Structure 1
Amino acid sequence: MIKPIKLLIFGLLISLTVSCQNKPQNRMLEDYTKLPKFEWVENVCSPLGYPIEVYRGGLEGDTYASLSQGVTTGEWGSSGGGTNNGIKPLPSRINCIWISYAENCTYSIDSEIDYERMVKLFKEGYPDSNRKFGKKQTTFDTVLVGFAPGGIVVIWAMGAGRTVEVGRYKGEKYTVPQAEIDKLDNHKRLLFDATDRKNIMLNTKVIPLEVREAHAGKSIPFGLWDTYRTRYSWRPTYVVREEGGQVDEVRIGCFNGEAENLFDEELVENKYKKRAIPKGLGFGWKDKNGQNYGGHVKFDEQEIFNAFNEFYKDDIKGESELQFSINYANDYVTVLLKQGDKEIRLSKTKVTTYKSSLK
């Protein structure tokens, strides 16, 4: 028979044990309620011509977002349609396994991500503007994860008109055990089927024919997507030949996946800023009568990289300007990269212009 004093001690030990076991859970619950929450959705991308598919896993933390969204079909830094939109804490870790179809191999990553930087970006937000609502402060709404050959993983914060890199990470080659593959359903098992992988690479809805033909016979350019991340101090400048014409909005998209809009004070100040090399640029302008025009330029990758490399080969800290000159008829744009008294014309740039019906 257990004496009353022993029962009391036993009860106290049980109570203490339960209390200690509950403390971490209560603390986690308390911390979770204090975490900043934002409305966001997860998404994945890869460079065009190098599709991937996440086998399992996703973004983790005090929330979870699966990255298994099928075969990627877009471009580096582009967003499709996520499925897990909601108000929730931001992720602090990426843990997933994915198939690289072009390499015919599998990668795995389990890594912390820059949570503090992501929270700072979402909290601060950025100015946005449109003709209907005018200038307003907005914030990001997508956590975009990019997978490039070589196991490269880049994460961006993306919103309307702005994309900012959060961090670059690295996965390692991984072999999924055959015993695990054998237990998969028929659809999932196709991820590890050699014939199906080959068919993915031949599917023109995944890789357009012109892209496949351009890549034919060439090795995978490992390291290219890290090269895209190099930043230079530059700014866009504009020459409107018609007297009284003025550029009023600019949209910049860079090879590293980042994007930004310039308008109002930021466009007027037009400070030099460390940016990656631009992939394309769109802008709007008005003539002296208030007629609106728009234009878009798409750079030839080899040409613009050669130009930047020429200017910055001796001084990576130098400053340069991309000058866009609009002709008197407002229907053509020429582009120069300028640094001091040196300039290089980017003659292979593809230009599209239009006259707007809006005033």
Structure 2
Amino acid sequence: MIKLLRALIFGMLISLTVSCQNKPQNRMLEDYTKLPKFEWVENVCSPLGYPIEVYRGGLEGNTYASLSQGVTTGEWGSSGGGTNNGVKPLPSRINCIWVSYAENCTYSIDSDIDYQRMVQLFKEGYPDSNRKFGKKQTTFDTVLVGFAPGGVVVIWAMGAGRTVEVGRYKGEKYTVPQAEIDKLDNHERLLFDATDRKNIMLNTKVIPLEVREAHAGKPIPFGLWDTYRTRYSWRPTFVLRTEGEMVATYYDMFNGEAEEIFAEGLIENKFEKRAIPKRINFGWRDKEGQGYGGRIIFDEQEILNAFEEIYKDDIEGASELQFSINYANDYVTVLLKQREKEIRLPKTKVKVYHSSKLTLKK
């Protein structure tokens, strides 16, 4: 009788264990079928002058996208050409090993990423720039992964006219076992060849000569790309000396984000927490309908210093980045101001050009 009782209890425990194990598996399968799916492609970038190459691994979750796309040649926050485009769930994890050529070392990361934030961004989307066809809203189409010196990893949601940071992560230095390297084919083995790494750093198609010369003799600015992520409450303002109206603006930020604001947004012109701008393109037209465009490229040290000075006594304050267009519509001056404090930015590079003649809206 006792043996029978023990057998019954043991059987119940086994049944309960199996049941508990099966439920999460069934729930995961059910959840997978309900996961939101979007059309997107993976992409990789690094700061100009600090190229990397992913040895193996990529974005994981209920999908997989390899980040092995060769040596990066663009700049921080720029996209190249991914290969795994399709409608699929968004990734929830990054797991990869990459070579940092400027540091002559290898990093590894295996980390959860902010999946919920990414889904929210893709679901909400943003105003479409091509609104003449009646489409007012669009969404992101790229998951961009940036690798900066020191093992810094930043992931953005990217689309036409908008790039938004999803999160910042950190890899650790890693040594690929020599036994593993020995098994690689000749091409893959070059990743770990000292001569080839040196040649990558001397290749002007990877690092333009002027960039290499500017970096020569200087230490790698570890931490700089985290500094870029500091946000301030600011807005653009435009001073037109003649009658007319602003049409649109587009900002590239030092932290890799980008934002386009249309005429109606410029009318409301709210203060927003933004990173410091790197470049700004904007368009306006005069009362006759003649269109103009301006391209502003900031001097990095000048504008970083200006924001630091403006906000040193009140980090939560709000400031305006003011663009004054002259009477001839052929030049723009820029200053940063917060209440009585004003800092001019004379090193800013300015280009103004004529665009098509447009009819002003009545």
Give TM-score scaled by structure 2 length.
Answer: 0.92
1:230-267: CA deviation from partner (whole Å, max 9, x where unpaired): 0011000000111x211110111110001111114322
Please name the residue that 2:244 is paired with: 245
RMSD: 1.9
Aligned mates of 1:264, 1:135 — CA distance in 2: 16
Q: What's the counterpart of residue 158 of structure 1?
A: 158
Q: Is the 8 A contact 2:246 2:263 kept in 1?
A: no
Match of 1:149, as an amino acid?
P
- The equivalences for 1:201-350 within 5 A come to 201-242=201-242, 244-350=243-349
CA offset at residue 129 of structure 1? 2.4
**Matched AA of 2:156:** W
Equivalents in 1 of 2:263, 2:246: separation in Å?
10
Quote the offset at 1:130 in angstroms. 2.8
Q: Please, which moves more after superposition, 12-21 or 116-125?
A: 12-21
- Separation in structure 1 between the aligned mates of residue 131 and residue 94 of structure 2, nearest angstrom: 38
Where 1:116 maps in the other structure, the secondary structure is: helix
- What is the identity, as a one-letter code, of the residue corresponding to 2:133? F
CA distance in 1, matches of 2:14, 2:309: 73
Partner deviation per Cα, 1:29-73 (whole Å, 9 max, x = no partner): 221110000000000000000000000000000000000000000
What is the one-letter code of the residue matched to 1:316?
I
Report the counterpart of residue 51 of structure 1 in structure 2: 51
The within-5 A match list for 1:138-157 is 138-157=138-157
Following superposition, the deviation at residue 330 of structure 1 comes to 1.0
Q: CA deviation at 1:133?
A: 2.1
Partner of 2:3: none
Q: CA deviation at 1:77?
A: 0.4
The equivalent of 1:71 in structure 2 is: 71
What 5-or-longer segments of structure 2 have no aligned partner?
Answer: 1-11
Q: Which moved further from structure 2: 171-180 or 333-342?
A: 333-342
Assess, with a 3 A threshold, how the Cα gap between structure 1 residues 358 and 193 changes in structure 2: closer, same or farther: farther
* Matched AA of 1:179: A
Runs ≥4 residues deviating over 4 A: 12-25
More off after superposition, 20-29 vs 85-94: 20-29
2:190 partner amino acid: L
Contact 2:56 2:68 in 1 (8 A): yes
Q: How far apart in 2 are the matches of 1:325 and 1:148?
A: 35
Counterpart of 1:8 in structure 2 is none
1:9 corresponds in structure 2 to none
Q: Corresponding residue for 1:86?
A: 86
- What corresponds to 1:112 in structure 2? 112
The answer as to 2:174 corresponding to 1:189 is no
Q: Which amino acid aligns with 2:333?
A: T
Question: What letter matches 2:147 in structure 1?
Answer: F
* Structure 2 residue aligned with 1:5: none
1:176 matched to which residue of 2? 176
Between the aligned partners of 2:261 and 2:69, the Cα distance in structure 1 is: 33
Indicate if the aligned counterparts of 2:129 and 2:161 stay in contact, CA closer than 8 A.
Answer: no
Q: Deviations over 1:339-358 (max 9, x none)?
A: 11221110000011110135
CA shift at 1:135, angstroms?
5.3
CA distance, structure 1, for counterparts of residue 175 and residue 321 of structure 2: 46
CA distance in 2 between counterparts of 1:316 and 1:30 reads 47
Deviation per residue, 1:143-173 (Å, 9 max, x gap): 0000000000000000110000000000000
Cα offset, 1:282, TM superposition: 0.6
SS at match of 1:200: helix
Q: Partners in 2 of 1:346 and 1:134 — Cα distance? A: 39
* CA–CA separation in structure 2 for the residues paired with 1:24 and 1:257: 39
Identity across the alignment (%):
85
Partners of 1:325 and 1:213 lie apart in 2 by: 34
Secondary structure, in 3 states, of the residue corresponding to 2:320? Answer: strand
Q: In 1, distance between residues paired with 2:234 and 2:188?
A: 47
Q: State how far apart, in whole Å, the 1-side matches of 2:246 and 2:104 are.
A: 47
Verify the 8 A CA contact 2:289 2:357 in the aligned structure 1: no
Question: d(CA) in 2 for partners of 1:208 and 1:152?
Answer: 23
Measure, in 2, the Cα distance between the counterparts of 1:276 and 1:356.
29
Residue 228 of structure 2 aligns to which amino acid in structure 1? Answer: Y
In structure 2, what is the Cα distance between the partners aligned to 1:264 and 1:331? 21
